[in-house]
């Protein structure tokens, strides 16, 4: 019983951690919302600053990433790079598309201090 309560508290805590990374905008489409969820799970670890003291591993992404070329962004996500895993066996094409739709909502920003 006690264990169950602790587990529930943990789930609530980690769920709010995900939301803190970027609450979905009210204007988001379903695909963009889905993209945000998948992005938080699979991409945020490298593409957002997880903690103040750790350096971000991958570049900041925005709607201007790769010149805003959706086809190229899909290609990167599917194939990966020497430093980034490819996701073509992990996600359905529709899921990759949702992630691209989400990336297209991120405004370009100045790189945070310490990022490459």
Question: Is residue 73 close enough to count as binding ligand HEC by CB under 6 A?
Answer: yes
Residue 81 Cβ vs ligand HEC, minimum distance, rounded to whole Å: 3
Region from 2-10, 24-32, 69-77, 108-116 binding ligand HEC, contact rule CB under 6 A:
69-77
Q: Where are the alpha helices (DSSP H) in the chain?
A: 2-21, 30-42, 44-47, 70-79, 93-103
Residues 17 and 89: their CA atoms lie apart, in Å, by 27
Contacts of ligand HEC in 37-66 (CB under 6 A):
42-43, 45-47, 57-59, 61, 65-66
Residue 28: count other Cβ atoms within 10 Å of its Cβ.
16
Rounded to a whole number of angstroms, the distance between the first and last alpha carbons of the chain is 47
> By the criterion CB under 6 A, which residues form the site for ligand HEC?
42-43, 45-47, 57-59, 61, 65-66, 73, 76-77, 81-85, 87, 99
């Amino acid at each position: 019983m006690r264990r169950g309560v602790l587990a529930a508290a943990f789930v609530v805590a980690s769920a709010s951690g995900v939301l803190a990374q970027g609450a979905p905008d009210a204007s988001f489409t379903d695909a963009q919302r889905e993209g945000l969820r998948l992005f938080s799970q699979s991409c945020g670890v490298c593409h957002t600053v997880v903690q103040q003291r750790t350096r971000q591993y991958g570049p900041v992404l925005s709607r201007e990433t790769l010149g805003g070329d959706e086809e190229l962004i899909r290609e990167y996500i599917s194939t990966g790079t020497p430093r980034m895993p490819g996701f073509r066996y992990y996600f359905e094409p529709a899921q990759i598309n949702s992630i691209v739709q989400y990336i297209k909502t991120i405004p370009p920003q100045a790189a945070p201090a310490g990022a490459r």
